[in-house]
A and B are shown apart, each in its own frame.
Chain A
Amino acid sequence: MIAPQSVEASAAPHISISNVSKTFHTRSGAVQALEDIHLEIQRGEFVSVLGPSGCGKSTLMMLLSGLVPSSQGQIEVARHKIDGPNSHIGIVFQQDVLLEWRSALQNVMIQAEIRKLPVEAARERAKQLLEMVSLKDFESAYPKELSGGMRQRVSICRALLHKPPLLLMDEPFGALDAMTRDQLQLDLLRLCADNAMTVFFITHSIPEAVFLSDRVVVMSPRPGRIEKIVNIDMPRPRRLAMREDPQFIEYTRELTEIFKNLGVFREEH
């Protein structure tokens, strides 16, 4: 165990967001990004936040990370009120944000260097993580020598090195082609199964949200509000073929319907 975490009582939710709002003050006036958000997430849950651009879903993730303060309300992670950068997390952005001057392995190891974790154990784990996402032979490659999918896999390994109890992901596969995306979804699910953690996953892809999640939080655009929460009751491990299951199709249909009612989709009749 690299980063020992105090084990909380399993009854309390891992994340508790109550009455949270966020207003940005811009030159053209105040913009309300989030309005009255209530959400509880249990330890080990995979929760996707689904919504169109501008619904404040990324803002919600930034509030959880503590890197951006909320305007109102309270966020607790593992019973601790968030009022500054929360370092008990792993974070993955749409851009891989790899450090161009470091090899793949060194990019994963930056996490250990900054946190001053024991080097040998961390290196062992970093190599293990890279191997799990089929990058064993690319440990010493520089980011510019890697494809987009490989780069994002390195960035996920970096986020997991210190065994964070909470993984935050902001449209991590949004910039990847469809096939790479499928593979990375599978990689992510495997990593999740091996590292007990809560995942807060931002996406604008309905099938992606259904495929990965235990629960899908649907957000409405401007100001961002939680419109509905859909439980995805499908067995794990998830397989690609499950996307053809009637159950899966029913979930995506249900979610599409919600967005249609919100006016996100408009169809000719």
Chain B
Amino acid sequence: MADISNTTSPAVPVPQVLRALGAISPAVWTLIAVILIWEVAVRITEVPVYILPSPSRIAQEFVVYWPRLLANGMVTLSEVLIGFFFAVLIGVPLAVLITYSQVAERSIYPIIVASQTIPKVAIAPLLLAWFGYGMTPKVAVVVLISFFPIIINSVVGLKASSAEMLYLAKSMGASQWQIFWKFRLPQALPYIFAGFKLATVLAVIGAVVAEFIGADQGLGYIILIAGASFDIARQFTAIITISVIGMLFFAAIQLAERLVIPWKQSPNMPNG
């Protein structure tokens, strides 16, 4: 049973429906308003459908086209998830290495940072030439693009333990192993998760860009093909599906963060 005694509502109870509506985030209302204006504007001005379709037209396209969106969305999602997984698998241990080894910090870290000036779009054709048209080059682009915020934030986080904290640990007779697991890593977790969250956004971009360069499936491919035939409504359905994938992925990481770091409900982004 929900406890309603702590609400600030006056003696006259607000009807359930109204209260439920009030609980919806104001951003949703903004979005609904924009869609309504869009719909009305398109109908009044009679813009051709190959320039700007109305939201209702896009919705119709969704109804017809969703099986292919789903199938291609799964392809893009797989690229994103596999790429992100490898970015974490490489990025976090490498950050640990850089934190603990002066040699690694001096010999690897500057190259990683400098490599970020290379636009990933520019090397995507190269990856295609090496790995063919399958999933591998897309995953490679995702890894390359999402790996950076993960490693940078992990290094910053692992180095965030103050000198006093490390002194304290040593005064207890803590081993290097204990210092890592009980002091350094928990201290770094909020930073690492901030890196993950940045990486989710980049991972989706990376997958779609890689599909633009050369693919025969995926949402990036759908956008390209629909664009070639001026099917703007179909492009919109793919774009919306991509952003839904991005948002769900971000939300999943945020949920994981809440579970792993319960002491920090409001995440701060050190390198945001």
Contact = CB atoms under 8 A, between A and B. Distances in A.
A154 to B, nearest CB: 13
Contacts of A113: 182
Interface string B176-211: 001000110011010000000000000000000000
Given A99-B186, A114-B178, A93 B168 contact: yes
B173 interface: yes
Size bracket, chain B contacts:
20 to 34
Nearest to B261: A101
B248 interface: no
A89 B171 CA distance: 7
B167 A100 contact: no
A90 to B, nearest CB: 8
Interface in A100-156: 100-102, 110-111, 113-115, 142, 144
Contacts of A142: 263
A91 interface: yes
A86 B171 contact: yes
B2 to A, nearest CB: 25
B173 A99 contact: no
A99 B166 CA distance: 11
A114 B174 contact: yes
Nearest to B185: A101
A247 B174 CA distance: 45
A67 B182 contact: no
A90 B261 CA distance: 28
Given A99-B186, A101-B261, A142-B263, A110 B170 contact: no
B182 A110 contact: yes
B165 to A, nearest CB: 5
A83 to B, nearest CB: 14
A112 to B, nearest CB: 9
A72 B264 CA distance: 45
Interface in B225-247: none
Interface residues of A, number: 23
Nearest to A90: B171
A110 B169 CA distance: 9
B182 A114 contact: yes
Contact of A110 (B167, B172, B173, B261): B172
Contacts, number: 55
A138 to B, nearest CB: 14
A97 B263 contact: no
B186 A101 contact: yes
A95 interface: yes
A99 B168 CA distance: 11
A113 B173 CA distance: 11
B176 to A, nearest CB: 12
Contacts of B187: 99-101
Contacts of B171: 65, 67, 85-87, 89-91
Contacts of A99: 165, 183, 186-187
A99 B164 CA distance: 12
Nearest to A155: B168
Interface in B136-182: 162, 164-165, 167-174, 178, 182
A96 to B, nearest CB: 9
Given A65-B167, A91-B167, A97 B162 contact: yes
Contacts of B174: 114
A67 to B, nearest CB: 5
Nearest to A112: B172
B258 to A, nearest CB: 13
Contact of A97 (B164, B170, B182, B264): B164
A159 B224 CA distance: 64
Contacts of B182: 110, 113-114
Given A67-B171, A114-B178, 20 more contacts: A65-B167, A65-B171, A85-B173, A87-B173, A90-B171, A91-B168, A91-B171, A93-B164, A95-B162, A95-B164, A97-B162, A97-B165, A100-B187, A110-B172, A110-B182, A113-B182, A114-B174, A115-B173, A142-B263, A144-B263
6 contacts: A65-B171, A85-B170, A87-B172, A101-B187, A110-B172, A114-B182
Report, nearest first, the 5 A-B pairs whose CB atoms are least far apart: A87-B173, A114-B172, A101-B186, A93-B164, A91-B171
